[in-house]
Structure 1
Amino acid sequence: MKQGVHSPAGAQGAARVPAQQRARDVAREWDTAVPGARGEHTHAEQPIPRPRAVVQRSSVRGQILDALRTALVAGELQPGEVYSAPVLGERFGVSATPVREAMQQLALEGAVEVVPNRGFRVVERGARELAELAEVRALIEVPVMLRLAHTVPGERWAELRPLAEATVRAASTGCAATYAESDRAFHRAVLTLSGNAQLVQVAEDLHRRSQWPPVDGPVRHGRADLVADAAEHTALLEALIAQDLDIVRKLVGEHFAGAR
């Protein structure tokens, strides 16, 4: 083990990688792909709160990835700060390996960048980047929604009521991370009606990235802001069910003008 690297205390937890040989193989692959990604120094790193529940054995990497994405939206992982895989592994009660794998995916998504021999730095994003993401989302989603409003029957839109109602419940909690997940689920369901899987994937990636808080004046939406945003989903869905295209055009434009 390199000097300054600490084995995670949570490595004995339920989410330990089942095959030690596989863990070694993955670690070697990581070292080859990203030189210096291992050996992160953790002695000066501030501890971060442990989650309420330790992740389960199945799909460890996927669960860690979801948890890290949630931490990004919630602001628990601060822009500009460096986090090491061993320390994050302690937080989630797993070895450093699945954390590195999840962080590699986040690096591909542009959320973090590798800092050799230290770990991963959360990318610092400005308000301009958020505005650009909102513009691109509108260019993609608005025309699709308007086209679907002309072609999808009201009864199909009615099937999305539970998702719209879920955004209202999530907003009522005042938790940005909880609301972000339900918000993406609603938009994903709407776009899925287009039958274009590639469009859905691209739109969701843009949506997810738009939900990460910027470094210069974080967008900290309060409960009232989240509730208002969720109410737009409900109003839009009711207009779609009623096939009121004039109202649909108005609501779609307003929703993306204030896209989060």
Structure 2
Amino acid sequence: MPLGGGERVRRSSLRQQIADALREEVLTGRLQAGRHFTVKEIADSYGVSATPVREALVDLAAQGLLEVEQHRGFQVRRLTQADFRSLTEARVFVVEALFRDLAEHGIGDLPKDAIASVRRRAEAAARAARAGVLDVLIGCDLRFWRELSAIGGNPHICEFLDRVRTQTWIYAVPHLRALQDLSGVCWAGHVALVEAVADRDIETARELTTGYNEHTRALVEKLAPARS
């Protein structure tokens, strides 16, 4: 007898696909901060029913990317400069927890293919940063940090760091796009960072991430108007 779960699986998959697509739209700035939309508008745009769209939008709201507007639909969250500062500070604490976990439990038993995969992500992110290809950089950078944080084995740290990093990118993107040439502007130390982690040199990893946070914060706050 069939279990009857096929439809739920398909709907769940569609829900995730829609959430991923909208997340990318927000991250790249194609859905700009403050943009209002309804479930019907998105459903019509993707040619799907309202149910998986509503579920996907609720998921994105829970991740802090959207705000629910009572009786109106959804709005892409507006992040302020104060939000950005708070998010970068939170990012520091989360990464510190990650490195502390690595230092306490070590990574000696980690399969070599896991480090190799993170290194490939690092190389791709660094290339995109040097070339100034922002959309590629965002995707590679987020995947790099997801894999790097997964080394620690704590899924809650991994999930929270991904959420914080996504939100900082959302704030930074429109300001970075104001520059005509982004070549070499964004931080490109991903390879050095993964090598430090692979060598179990946690102190160097901390120094690199501290430099990354300082670089990113100074860059974005220089580009962002004080009122934002």
* Fold match (TM-score > 0.5): yes
Q: Which residue of 1 aligns with 2:78?
A: 124
Q: Establish whether residue 85 from structure 1 lines up as the match of residue 44 from structure 2.
A: no
Change (3 A) 1:225 1:196: same
3-state SS of paired residue (2:175): coil
Structure 1 unaligned spans of 5+ = 1-17, 23-55
Give the 5 Å matches for 1:218-237. 218-220=175-177, 223-225=182-184, 228-229=186-187, 231-237=188-194
For 2:122, what is the secondary structure of its paired residue?
helix
Structure 2 partner of 1:25: none
Q: CA deviation at 1:118?
A: 3.1
Aligned with 1:254 (options 182, 186, 211) = 211
1:135 aligns with 2:86: no
Residue 258 and residue 146 in structure 1: after superposition, are their counterparts in 2 closer, same or farther (change >3 A)?
farther
Q: Structure 1 runs of 4+ off > 6 angstroms?
A: none
Give the TM-score normalised by structure 2: 0.73
1:123 deviates by 1.8
Q: Which amino acid aligns with 1:63?
A: Q
Q: 1:123 and 1:57, CA in 2 relative to 1: closer, same or farther beyond 3 A?
A: closer
* 1:186 and 2:144 are equivalent in the alignment: yes
Partner in structure 1 of residue 107 of structure 2:
152
**Does the CA-based 8 Å contact 1:114-1:120 persist in structure 2?**
yes
Q: Does 1:64 align with 2:18?
A: yes
Distance between the aligned counterparts of 1:114 and 1:242, measured in 2? 45
Give 1:113 shift: 2.1
Secondary structure (helix, strand or coil) at the match of 2:137 reads helix
State the partner residue of 2:48.
94
Q: Which amino acid aligns with 1:106?
A: L
> Greater share of helix residues, 1 or 2?
2
How well do the aligned residues superpose, as a CA RMSD in angstroms?
3.3
Aligned mates of 2:62, 2:200 — CA distance in 1: 40
Alignment-derived partner of residue 199 in structure 1: 157
Cα distance in structure 2, aligned partners of 1:97 and 1:58: 10
Whether 2:126 is the aligned partner of 1:164: answer no
Structure 1 225/129 Cα, relative in aligned 2: closer, same or farther at 3 Å?
farther
Structure 2 residues without counterparts, runs of 5 or longer = 1-5, 218-228
Q: CA distance change for structure 1 residues 146 and 122 in 2, over 3 Å: closer, same or farther?
A: same
1:112 has 2:69 as partner: no
Select 1:175's aligned residue among 134, 140, 155.
134
Secondary structure in 2 matching 1:224? coil
Deviation by residue 1:166-203 (Cα, 9 ceiling, x = unmatched): 32354447133x32222122112222221212222222
Distance 1:110-1:243 versus aligned 2 partners, 3 A rule: closer
Between the aligned partners of 2:150 and 2:119, the Cα distance in structure 1 is: 15
Tell me the TM-score normalized by structure 1. 0.65
CA distance in 1: counterparts of 2:169 and 2:92, whole angstroms = 15
Structure 1 residues 101, 184: CA separation in 2 closer, same or farther (over 3 Å shift)?
Answer: same
- Output the amino acid matched with 2:208: L
* SS in structure 2 of the partner of residue 195 of structure 1: coil
Give how far 1:142 is off.
2.6
Distance 1:200 1:249, change over 3 A: closer
Distance 2:65 2:200 in 1: 39
Deviates more, 1:198-207 or 1:126-135: 198-207
**Residue 73 of structure 1: aligned partner:** 27
Q: Once the two structures are aligned, what percentage of the paired residues are identical?
A: 31
Sort the Cα spacing of 1:75 and 1:225 in 2 relative to 1 into closer, same or farther, 3 A.
farther
The amino acid that maps onto 1:197 is P
Secondary structure at the aligned position of 1:78 is classed as coil
The number of aligned residues is 204
